[in-house]
Amino acid sequence: MRTPPGCISPLAVLAVLATALLVGLGAARGGELFSPGELNAMAGTPLGEVDSHAALAGDCSACHPSPWDAAGLPGRCMACHTEIDAEMRSASGLHGILLEPGEDQSCQRCHTEHNGPEASLTLASLDDLRHERTGFPLDGGHAEIECAECHTGTRYAQVERTCAGCHAEPDFHAGLFPADCQSCHQTAAWVPASFPLQHPPFPVDHEDASTCRDCHPAALTAYSCDSCHGPAEMVDEHRDEGITDIRDCAGCHPTGEKDEARDRS
Ligand code: HEC
Ligand code: HEC
Ligand code: HEC
Ligand code: HEC
Ligand code: HEC
Ligand code: HEC
Ligand code: HEC
Ligand code: HEC
Ligand code: HEC
């Protein structure tokens, strides 16, 4: 049944009186009466003149708004946690990427209280974080690693986003290539990589060669043909041609074609 405006039902009056009485009692006894449990006592950087939630035990209204406060509980929380407010407004930082624009920001969806001085305040897990919203998806070699391996400074603060910002050039090709690793590499794995630059005339797909290491076992700055053309055998075969110094293979076989060396000599 709808109560006509201006007319207050006796039941409502009773309810208001009862609430006022209980709230009064609660205030008189330091708020403990209605508290469903102790507040979190883990202290950190002071905010709003307290260094932990437990210090607010006598000031329930720091978190619990009056019914006519349109900003509700989140408004209370953000009065102290101003950085969360900023994150949500700018769609950056942890909460900025946890929540879609316009999504329900109610802190109590993911945070709790009154579970004792040492209980965690966070219910939500970071597993569902849509990291791709930063423009840097966590795929390939980045999928299974801890946040802290990349976010080494303050919690989830901005970090380098270029590959070279986090990964050093390997000895294998140090000094040879430009620093834009992503032009040749993907996050799935370092090897294989693409090689969009001009290779010397000796073809990388010579016969059954399939990886760079077939001819560059240690680093790209040096080559060796030994993995397929056994050194002892080569010494013998070249001796038959009257050749004893065979160190400069590519000098006599610049493209590895049959009879090329003889044609050149
Ligand atoms: C630091 C913020 C904070 C302070 C201070 C605080 N509360 Fe809470 N309170 C919460 C949050 C958050 C919840 C919601 C917990 C949940 O849903 O898991 C809650 C829930 C409650 C509930 C249960 C409401 C429900 O929906 O189940 C009551 C009752 C309550 N608080 C009373 C108090 C009283 C009394 C005080 C003062 C002694 C107090 N609270 C101080 C944050 C606070
Ligand atoms: C009066 C200021 C104040 C209010 C209001 C307040 N907090 Fe806090 N909060 C703090 C302080 C101080 C700490 C402890 C300092 C720290 O951890 O950096 C803290 C810690 C936290 C932490 C843990 C931070 C961490 O580093 O793990 C969470 C989560 C949190 N508050 C959420 C809330 C939520 C949700 C509300 C509203 C229900 C709320 N706070 C209301 C001051 C406040
Ligand atoms: C492989 C490295 C890597 C890992 C692992 C990683 N991140 Fe990131 N994160 C980045 C990069 C790169 C950016 C983008 C930085 C930028 O845009 O300046 C970023 C951005 C962010 C941002 C936005 C920062 C801002 O200020 O806008 C948050 C929040 C974040 N990461 C949280 C996490 C969390 C939580 C985890 C663990 C679940 C995680 N990241 C794991 C590399 C990583
Ligand atoms: C969708 C879930 C979600 C919502 C909604 C949410 N948070 Fe969080 N919050 C998290 C997660 C997840 C963490 C990270 C916990 C961790 O690092 O393990 C976090 C961390 C925090 C921290 C610790 C500091 C930090 O940045 O890591 C504070 C303070 C905090 N939240 C306050 C709030 C406040 C205030 C609100 C409401 C305005 C809110 N959160 C809404 C999920 C949420
Ligand atoms: C914010 C730092 C950061 C950025 C930016 C970053 N990485 Fe990583 N990456 C890591 C960390 C940390 C690991 C895990 C530890 C390791 O293997 O070095 C990793 C691992 C990898 C792996 C797996 C290595 C293995 O042995 O399994 C590959 C491949 C990789 N990254 C490629 C890239 C590429 C390509 C880029 C640029 C598109 C890039 N990374 C950008 C931090 C970063
Ligand atoms: C011009 C293309 C190119 C660029 C730019 C490039 N790489 Fe490479 N990288 C390669 C090729 C090709 C290989 C060898 C792949 C193979 O063995 O099949 C390689 C191999 C690697 C390896 C594996 C080395 C080993 O020991 O097997 C790592 C790690 C690596 N690169 C990291 C990087 C990083 C970090 C950057 C940026 C600082 C970068 N690369 C820039 C082409 C490139
Ligand atoms: C079948 C043999 C062979 C294969 C496979 C091969 N290379 Fe080479 N590479 C050579 C030879 C021979 C030279 C030296 C040519 C010369 O000095 O005239 C060379 C030279 C180079 C150089 C020049 C080094 C310098 O110091 O300037 C680069 C860079 C290079 N190779 C990259 C690669 C990459 C990347 C791969 C894999 C995609 C690869 N090579 C696969 C035979 C090979
Ligand atoms: C992955 C194996 C492999 C590597 C590495 C390799 N080769 Fe070959 N090469 C072959 C095969 C297989 C043939 C064709 C059969 C044969 O004659 O041995 C061949 C043929 C040749 C021929 C022509 C011989 C003929 O009579 O057909 C020359 C010259 C040659 N290689 C030189 C080189 C040089 C120089 C290098 C090092 C820069 C090199 N090869 C590295 C596998 C390789
Ligand atoms: C001074 C020049 C010279 C050098 C250095 C040299 N070769 Fe040769 N090589 C020749 C000539 C000449 C022949 C015979 C004609 C031909 O196949 O072109 C030959 C033949 C070959 C053949 C074919 C052999 C056969 O009959 O099956 C291979 C394979 C070969 N060389 C590989 C190499 C490798 C690998 C090196 C370095 C370890 C090397 N050569 C160094 C000149 C040279």
249 Cα nearest atom in ligand 7: 12
Residue 31 within a domain: no
Q: For atom 10 of ligand 9, which residue has the closest CA?
A: 261
User: What does the pLDDT average to over 168-183?
Assistant: 95
Note whether 229 and 154 are same-domain residues: no
227 Cα nearest atom in ligand 8: 5
* Helical spans, DSSP H, in the chain: 10-28, 72-80, 82-90, 93-98, 147-150, 163-166, 231-240, 249-252, 260-264
Domain that holds residue 173: 168-177+199-265
Confirm if 261 and 253 have CB atoms less than 8 A apart. yes
How many domains does the chain contain in total? 2
Q: For atom 2 of ligand 8, which residue has the closest CA?
A: 228
Q: For atom 12 of ligand 3, which residue has the closest CA?
A: 161
Ligand number, closest to the Cα atom of 157: 3
Note whether 156 and 173 are same-domain residues: no
Residue 44 within a domain: no
Note whether 56 and 154 are same-domain residues: yes
Residue environment code for 134-157, b if the CB has 16+ CB neighbours within 10 A, otherwise e: beeebeeeeeeeeeeeeeeeeebe
Ligand number, closest to the Cα atom of 141: 5
pLDDT of residue 264: 67
Give pTM, 2 decimals.
Answer: 0.86
Note whether 226 and 154 are same-domain residues: no
d(CA 202, CA 226): 15
pLDDT of residue 151: 93
pLDDT digits (tens, 9 = 90+) for 196-252: 999 999 999 999 999 999 999 999 999 999 999 999 999 999 999 999 999 999 999
* Positive/negative CA dihedral, 230, 233, 235, 240: negative
Residue 8 within a domain: no
pLDDT of residue 33: 56
Amino acid at 108: Q
User: What does the pLDDT average to over 21-49?
Assistant: 71
Between the CA of 182 and the centroid of ligand 7 the distance, in Å, is 21
Name every residue whose Cβ is closer than 8 Å to that of residue 98 and which is 6 or more positions away in sequence. 110, 124, 129, 130
Note whether 217 and 117 are same-domain residues: no
Closest CA to 151 of 99, 104, 97, 111: 97
- The percentage of the chain sitting over the pLDDT mark of 90, rounded to a whole number, equals 70
pLDDT digits (tens, 9 = 90+) for 153-170: 877 888 999 999 999 999
Note whether 64 and 114 are same-domain residues: yes
* Better-scored residue on pLDDT, 35 or 25: 35
Residue 14 within a domain: no
Note whether 153 and 68 are same-domain residues: yes
Residue 194 within a domain: no
Residue 102 within a domain: yes
In Å, how far are 66, 110, 151, 219 from 171, measured between CA atoms?
64, 46, 26, 7
pLDDT of 18 over the 50 cut: no
Note whether 152 and 206 are same-domain residues: no
pLDDT band at 27 (very low <50, low <70, confident <90, very high): very low
Note whether 128 and 214 are same-domain residues: no
Note whether 57 and 127 are same-domain residues: yes
Between the CA of 185 and the centroid of ligand 8 the distance, in Å, is 28
- Whether residue 178 has a cis bond before it, omega within 30° of 0: no
d(CA 124, CA 126): 7
Residue 190 within a domain: no
Q: For atom 37 of ligand 7, which residue has the closest CA?
A: 212
Note whether 157 and 55 are same-domain residues: yes
Between the CA of 219 and the centroid of ligand 7 the distance, in Å, is 10
pLDDT digits (tens, 9 = 90+) for 108-135: 999 999 999 999 999 988 887 889 989 9
pLDDT of residue 126: 87
Note whether 172 and 264 are same-domain residues: yes
Q: How many CA atoms lie within 13 A of 133 on its CB side?
A: 16
The ligand 7 site (C-beta within 6 Å) comprises: 176, 195, 199-200, 202, 204, 206, 209, 212, 214-216, 220-221, 223, 250
Residue 261 within a domain: yes
